[in-house]
Structure formats: structure tokens, C-alpha cells
Amino acid sequence: MAVYNYDVVIIGSGPAGEGAAMNAAKSGRKVAVVESRGVVGGSSTHLGTIPSKALRHSVRQILRFNTGSMFRQIGEPRWFSFPDVLKSAENVIRKQVASRTSYYARNRIDVYFGTASFSDEHSIDVVGPSRVEKLVANQIIIATGSRPYRPADVDFSHPRVYDSDTILNLSHTPRRMIIYGAGVIGCEYASIFSGLGVLVDLVDTRDQLLNFLDDEISDALSYHLRNSNVLIRHNEEYERIEGTENGVVLHLKSGKKLRGDALLWCNGRTGNTDQLGLENVGLSANSRGQVEVNEHYQTAVPNIYAAGDVIGWPSLASAAYDQGRSAAGNILDNNSWHFVDDVPTGIYTIPEISSLGKTERELTQAKIPYEVGKAFFKGMARAQISNEPVGMLKILFHRETLALLGVHCFGYQASEIVHIGQAIMNQPGELNTIRYFINTTFNYPTMAEAYRVAAYDGLNRLF
């Protein structure tokens, strides 16, 4: 067995692993990354963030063509199959892999492909296709990500039962799809499939879609999903899933039976820790396969860190990159460490959602005197030009200090717009007030000017 020595070894090349590797390498450390796939990028690139967002983009283009009167000069509405739209995602994945491979090469980071496991707190055994190698390091960062949770009583080997990873292997377009689990992933795929003309039953185990969102935004999502012929079933739990020759029957505890051509399981995720040999270093994962860390992303073993989905909240690619970079920053002591908690929510449904800060419910419960300012997209020039009238920007601010407390956006470019509010919320003292939006000139026409409209709307409510 060949033995190689490094300053830092990182297990996983997804966003968290990449963030850690780049920070460590740019600070002059000798770095190695271990990836279980034959290519870099992790689940985010190959199974999650990139393919689902590329699919969504393609579906939005199809919807615009099929519903836009201008396009009737070109031809009649067309039907596209799921495999058709998946091709665009495959092209994006290839480009992402090429880019990320070049990052590792340019920063002289060694990449090992194989399954990594701890032999002791400073050593990692990498079992590759043809050989076993041992990597020895001063510090090790676990960034192995997560995968869909698979309960033992669901037969995922059945050709009509999928999870959010295997759905990318779907070779046909079902007429009726059952999606079990109405979290972020379930809602995103409900938008994608309904956009392709599939009848979707979205089964929610709770009484409200994405109840961490502002209530008004959650209600808007429910309305638009239903308007797209998605049937939302709240407060339901499965009793069993029966695979048939031509489809699936979902038996619910309420006594209902739902029939579909396919079932997509989107109910929970689990950390990829089962093959790491954590017991060899005195670590253990919780029931969801996650590793516990402190605010410095350090585990109970001082030289072993963890970041990204494998530690749980918020389980977003954006946050994972920053967590990985911060974990490495704590090792390097180069002033690049910070605890990642300023995380905007980006949900790529159709239309998309993004939010940051407190919701109305939270502010009311905390008895904080707040006011609301809104800008409806249907009245904005840029939204009218883009033929994207659905949505609004909603800002919550303190009635007395005018400090920005929350930003909630639903509609066209929501995940882009939210960052303007994020920048102002992070300013100190008097710089963080909604007066910024009325004292600043925005390009016209833009979606960003929604902040000016919302600020005036909010201030008008004070007098």
C-alpha cells in the first residue's frame, strides 16, 4: 500500500469539499481530495442542484413557448418528454465537471478517486478501482454530503419507484406522478413535472407547504402549484407503497389510495457517513447519518472537521461551500473563518422563491413592532417586458428604527433579487434601514427597483 503525506485531506469534492480545498491550497498547504465518483463535483453537480435547476430552466422555456402568443408565428405548442429536457442538464453537468477539474489542477490539489475510510485520526484508506492508498494528514475534513433517505419498507428496486437521485434515470414521461414529500425538493420536482403536462399528486406530511417560509409566500406557492394542476394532499402519511406492473399504488394511513405511473420519494435525506469508519476514530453519526460539529466546524476529534450536508442545517450548496471554506479557515488561521448563518433560502419552483431574515409570524411571536412594504411584479416595467407578472417583493422592517428585518420574494429572479436586501441587512447601525432604497437610484427598468417601490409602500403605512 502506497502512503502519501499531506497537510489537509478532504473527503468529498462537492461544494463543501471544494470550498475547503481551495482555501487550504491558496494558503500554501499541501492538499488532497478524495472523491467516491470517477469525476469531481459531488451530488450537487451530478444529482441535485445543477441537474434540477437545469431541468427547471428548460421547462420554463417550454412553458414560455407554449403559452406565449408571439410564438404562435413560429409554430403550435409542442410537447417535450422528460428525457428531452434532461439533455440540457447533461450538457451543464459536463461543463461544470470540466470547470471544477481545472480548479483542482490549477491549484495543484491531488485528487484520489475511491472510497475513503478512517484507519486512525490522521490516516485515510482510499480503496480505488485497482489499488488501495493511504493518505496521512495533520487535519482531515469530512465533506461527504448526503443522499435521499430510503426507508426499508419501500422497494426502490421497482422500476416505477424513484428517489431524487434515480429520477434522473427516468426514460419516459409518466402521465401521472406521485411525489411523496413536499419539502424543497418535492416542490421543485412538482413544478418541473407539472410544467411538462404531468398530473402530479404532491403528498405533504404537514399542514402547510414549506412552513419555514413567510405564510404569504407559502400560500402563493400553494396557489400557483394548484393553478398548474398539482393536487396537494396535506397531513398524509404513507402506510405502504405497492409497485404494480404498470405503475404504483400509494396506500395512505387515511385510507386513501393514489395511483400513478411513477412515484418520486422526496421525504428526507441522510448523511453519507456509513462507509467512513467513524468508529475507528471514536466518532459516531446521528440517526440521520450526520456528524456533530461545534461553531468552528470541528468534531469531537480536534483535528477532524466536517462541513456541508453531512452536518445538517441548512443543507444548501451555497452554504456548504462557505462552511467548507470556513472549516479550512479555522485550520489555517487566516481570518477566513466565520460561522455560516446568514443564508438566504433559494427555492427553484416555478415561479421561484427566495427569502432571508425573519417572517411575519416570527416577528409577531417575538412582539417586535414591524411594518410591511410590498412591490407587486405585475405593476413593474421589467416584469411586464419579460412577461413575468407573477410575484412580489415583501420587506419587513422595524416601525421605529426602520431597520430591515426580513426580505421575502416570490417570482421572476427572486433568488437574484434577495441579495440586495441581504447586503443592506448586513450593514451596521443606521446604514441598515429601508431609507437606503429610497435614497438610492436604481437602473430602470429592472427587477431590483422593486426595493424602491416596496420601501415607499412600507413608509406610507407609517403615517
pLDDT of 413:
95
pLDDT of 66:
79
Question: What are the tens digits of pLDDT across the range 260-285?
Answer: 999 999 999 999 999 999 999 999 99
Pick the CATH number of 351-460 from 3.30.70.260, 3.30.390.30, 3.40.190.10, 3.30.70.100: 3.30.390.30
Residue 82 has phi, psi (to 5 degrees) of -60, -45
Cα–Cα distance between 188 and 164 in angstroms, integer? Answer: 11
State percent of the chain over pLDDT 90: 89
447 SS3 class: coil
pLDDT of 88:
84
CATH class, range 161-267? alpha beta
The CATH number of the structural domain formed by 2-148+270-332 is: 3.50.50.60
Cα–Cα distance between 354 and 450 in angstroms, integer? Answer: 14
pLDDT of 69:
75
pLDDT of 254:
98
CB-CB contact of 408 with 359 (8 Å): yes
What residue segments make up the domains of the chain, in order of their start? Answer: 2-148+270-332, 161-267, 351-460
Cα–Cα distance between 189 and 183 in angstroms, integer? Answer: 10
Sequence-distant (≥ 6) Cβ neighbours of residue 177 within 8 angstroms: 193, 198, 199, 200, 201, 260, 261, 262, 263, 264
pLDDT of 408:
98
Sequence-distant (≥ 6) Cβ neighbours of residue 395 within 8 angstroms: 372, 373, 374, 404, 406, 407, 408, 421, 434, 451, 454, 455, 458
At 56, the pLDDT band (50, 70, 90 cuts) reads very high
356 SS3 class: strand
Sequence-distant (≥ 6) Cβ neighbours of residue 27 within 8 angstroms: 328, 332, 334
Q: What is the value of pTM for the model shown?
A: 0.94
For the record, the C-alpha cell of 173 comes out as 414521461
pLDDT above 80 for 351: yes
At 336, the pLDDT band (50, 70, 90 cuts) reads confident
Of the listed ranges 208-212, 353-357, 407-411, 429-433, the one predicted with least confidence:
429-433
CB-CB contact of 143 with 310 (8 Å): yes
pLDDT above 80 for 73: no
Question: In the block, which residue shows the cell 414521461?
Answer: 173
Cα–Cα distance between 315 and 44 in angstroms, integer? Answer: 11
**Nearest CA among 323, 328, 300, 301 for reference residue 310:** 323
pLDDT of 70:
75
H/E stretch holding 264 = strand 262-265
At 64, the pLDDT band (50, 70, 90 cuts) reads confident
CA angle, corner 350, sides to 349 and 354, nearest 5?
Answer: 55
At 74, the pLDDT band (50, 70, 90 cuts) reads confident
Q: What is the mean pLDDT of residues 299-304?
A: 97
At 67, the pLDDT band (50, 70, 90 cuts) reads confident
Task: List C-alpha distances in Å: 255 to 200, 261, 420.
Answer: 19, 20, 48
Sequence-distant (≥ 6) Cβ neighbours of residue 171 within 8 angstroms: 83
CB-CB contact of 124 with 117 (8 Å): yes
2-148+270-332 and 161-267: identical CATH topology? yes
Cα–Cα distance between 333 and 403 in angstroms, integer? Answer: 33
Higher per-residue pLDDT: 445 or 79 = 445
Q: How far apart are the first and last CA of the chain?
A: 76
CB-CB contact of 204 with 232 (8 Å): yes
Cα–Cα distance between 65 and 69 in angstroms, integer? Answer: 8
Give the count of beta carbons closer than 10 Å to the beta carbon of residue 438.
14
> Cα 80 to chain center, whole Å?
26
Question: In the block, which residue shows the cell 480548479?
Answer: 103
Give the count of beta carbons closer than 10 Å to the beta carbon of residue 48.
24
Please provide the size of the chain in residues. Answer: 463
CA angle, corner 90, sides to 94 and 57, nearest 5?
Answer: 115
**Nearest CA among 101, 80, 94 for reference residue 21:** 101
Cα–Cα distance between 442 and 438 in angstroms, integer? Answer: 9
Question: What are the tens digits of pLDDT across the range 191-205?
Answer: 999 999 999 999 999
> Cα 159 to chain center, whole Å?
26
At 455, the pLDDT band (50, 70, 90 cuts) reads very high
pLDDT of 333:
83
Buried b (16+ CB within 10 A) or exposed e, 361-386: ebbeeeeeebbbbbbbbeebebbeee
Give the count of beta carbons closer than 10 Å to the beta carbon of residue 255.
7
For the record, the C-alpha cell of 299 comes out as 468534531
